[in-house]
Amino acid sequence: MYQASDIAKYFIHYANLEEDGMMTNLKLQKLLYYAQGFNLALFNQPLFQEEIKAWQYGPVVEEIYHTYKEYLRNPIPEPEDFNSEVITLEDRELVDEVYSVFGKYTGTILVNFTHQEKPWMSTEINQTITHELMSDYFKSQILKD
């Protein structure tokens, strides 16, 4: 299991490789939520250990929010201490897939998505979105496809 910061740095690096890649804190939070949810659904274990809270603008990993809040709505620059080798190839494949599906959307659009999803809707503001709730929801989404 990783630190959320490892996965966050990977997403930021991935976005910075793209010509129009722009990773904001808002977008990063939603990508972390989707990565955690799909990992729980597919592998029955969390990708990272930090909790995800239901905030007003959707799911948030509080520690990561505070790390990057200084950037406000601006792009987060490439992390200097990024090392992709920290994450296994199998886990990078999942994170890459999450980015390929959800990375094309703005943070605001991702907020709208999460506000229509059971994990956020079923959790009171500022409370932890449980792994069980995320796992059940994301399993149902995988089965739909």
DSSP states along 77-145: PPPTT--GGGS-HHHHHHHHHHHHHHTTS-HHHHHHHHTTSHHHHTS-TTSBPPHHHHHHHHHHHHHH-
Q: How far is CA 9 from CA 33, 110, 121, 131, in A?
A: 14, 19, 28, 22
Domain enclosing residue 40, as ranges? 4-144
pLDDT reported for residue 19: 73
pLDDT tens digit at each of 145 positions of the chain: 999 999 999 999 999 988 777 899 999 999 999 999 999 999 999 999 999 999 999 999 999 999 999 999 999 999 989 998 999 999 999 999 999 999 999 999 999 999 999 999 999 999 999 999 999 999 999 987 5
Q: How many domains does the chain have?
A: 1
Q: What share of the chain is helix, strand, coil (3-state, %, to 5)?
A: 60, 5, 35
Position of tokens 């990078």? 92
